[in-house]
Amino acid sequence: MQNNTNRSYYLVPYFGWMMLFVIAPLVLVIYFSLFDLHGNFSFINYQNFFTSVYLKLTLSSFWYAFLITAFTLAIAYPTAYWLTKTKHKQLWLLLIIIPSWINLLLKTYAFIGIFGVKGPLNKLFESMGIGTQQILYTDFSFIFVSVYIFIPFMILPIFNSLDKMNPTLIDAARDLGSSTWTTFTKVIFPLTINGVKSGIQAVFIPSLSLFMITRLIAGNKVITLGTAIEQQFLVTRNWGMGSTIAVFLIMFMVIIMILTGQKDKGALSNEQIK
């Protein structure tokens, strides 16, 4: 008994943290979402969310998040695969991870310089005779920079699951007659699906609420849920609507978490076969 009560003291900081920084903000957000511009209790914000403006915004937010995730995955998977094959894989991995330690804002500003009208990229275009191009404030630059920033977060879980995979399984698949492609689709990919799911979670969910990159790189031409929340709070000062969008954003996140949820089966047995 004595032991049990003693042990529960250790949980106090954890519960305190959870209450202050997870539960309380959530309750506050839901609370604010139930008041209109004039501080009256109403469901008007929720009704407004289902108007075409906000639905379009949600759709476009999902579309961009999807594009970013798809490109990140397309680049990260082969890279992670190649990494597991190299001799000094931990070193290469470190080199890929290092940029993610640098402040996001700093990297974003660096791209403003690179992509700018007077930037090095346009200098190159000019010398090649293509002429100056407007690169900043386009969909391309938005997706490019987002993909660049998210790549380490996709590579890491995929690399881990690939690295954990028993390489004899690939021999076994080949031995049983599968081509390189079937080996990938029937063995390698299914066994690393958990890594892919973790990567998608780490990229898709933050992509939904990007607002700094949309502002700096896309020049607010791309509006995501994140940008909308920021505008509602800081520009329109409609805290109710901002909170409502946040509530929906949280709901979308939960849904994505459930959809990309990990079944323990694959990872567990992958461990045990070793």
Partner 1 sequence: MTDNTIIRFENVTKSYDSATPVLNNVSFEIERGKFYTLLGPSGCGKTTILRLIAGFMEPTSGDIYFNGNKINHVPANERQVNTVFQDYALFPHLNVFENIAFGLRIKKLKKEEITRRVLEALKFVNLEGYENREIVEMSGGQKQRVAIARAIVNDPEVILLDEPLSALDLKLRTEMQYELRELQQRLGKTFIFVTHDQEEALAMSDEIFVMNAGVIQQSGTPMDIYDEPINRFVADFIGESNIVPGVMIADYRVQFGGKDFECADKGLSPNEKVDIVIRPEDLEITTVDRGKMTVKVDTQLFRGVHYELSTFDKDGNEWLVHSTKKAAVGEEIGLDFDPEAIHVMRLNETEEEFDKRLESYGEENHAK
Name the site residues for partner 1 (rule: CB under 8 A).
Answer: 166, 168-169, 171-179, 182, 186-187, 190-191, 265-266, 268-270, 272-274
Which C-beta is closer to partner 1: that of 42 or that of 168? 168
CB of 9 to partner 1, least distance (A): 38
Residue with tokens 């698949």, as numbered in its chain = 173
Which C-beta is closer to partner 1: that of 68 or that of 173? 173
Which C-beta is closer to partner 1: that of 16 or that of 167? 167
Which C-beta is closer to partner 1: that of 107 or that of 174? 174
**Cβ atoms within 10 Å of 6's Cβ, excluding its own:** 9
What string of DSSP letters covers 32-59?
A: HHTB-TTS-B-SHHHHHHTSHHHHHHHH
The rounded Cα 181 to chain-centroid distance in angstroms is: 28
Which C-beta is closer to partner 1: that of 42 or that of 166? 166
CB of 191 to partner 1, least distance (A): 6
Which C-beta is closer to partner 1: that of 118 or that of 274? 274
Which ranges in 103-224 belong to alpha helices (H)?
Answer: 104-115, 120-127, 139-164, 168-175, 180-183, 189-208, 212-216
Residues 168, 30 contacting (CB under 8 angstroms): no
Bridge partners for 35 per DSSP: 41
CB of 258 to partner 1, least distance (A): 21
CB of 170 to partner 1, least distance (A): 9
Bridge partners for 41 per DSSP: 35
Give which of 184, 10, 169 is closest to 81, Cα–Cα: 184
Which C-beta is closer to partner 1: that of 133 or that of 178? 178
CB of 198 to partner 1, least distance (A): 16
Residues 226, 210 contacting (CB under 8 angstroms): yes
Rounded Cα gap, residues 53 and 47, in angstroms: 12
Give which of 64, 206, 76 is closest to 143, Cα–Cα: 64
